[in-house]
Amino acid sequence: MDLEFDDKMPIYLQIMDHIKMDIATEKLKANDKLPSVREMATMLKVNPNTLQRAYQELERLGIVYTQRGMGTFVGERKHMIDDLKQEMAKEVIDSFILRMKRLGFSEEEIIASISKKITEVNKHV
């Protein structure tokens, strides 16, 4: 796993986002075992406490579960992938809209730019 960390966001949140993306894109599937805290911390060159915090928060959210002595695993919730995709899409859309508004675009201009881009992308798919 190769991650480049952004100084603007806590590392544990970036690790969580990466794991959530791997689950949403089904690189990680239900009941897949995640690397141990020490293994993952070594791979990512981060403090094990940082990784532990990411795993604990993912567990609190019901995205992963831990079995004592066995490790941490991807959760099995049936709608988890759809929920993660919706959550991640919402974050991207919210960020995009806020940035566009800060740039001075009106709602109509934002909608028009999205529509134009969708049309362009569909031509290449």
CATH of the domain at 70: 1.10.10.10
Q: Is residue 112 part of a domain?
A: yes
Are 66 and 87 contained in the same domain?
Answer: no
Q: Is residue 53 part of a domain?
A: yes
Q: What is the mean pLDDT of residues 32-37?
A: 96
End-to-end CA distance of the chain: 29
Domain range for 117 is: 80-122
Instruction: Give residue for tokens 């060159």.
Output: 45
The three-class DSSP label of residue 120 is: helix
What does the pLDDT read at residue 2? 67
Q: What is the mean pLDDT of residues 14-34?
A: 93
Q: Is residue 4 part of a domain?
A: no
pLDDT of 78-101, one tens digit each?
777 788 888 889 989 999 999 999
What does the pLDDT read at residue 83? 84
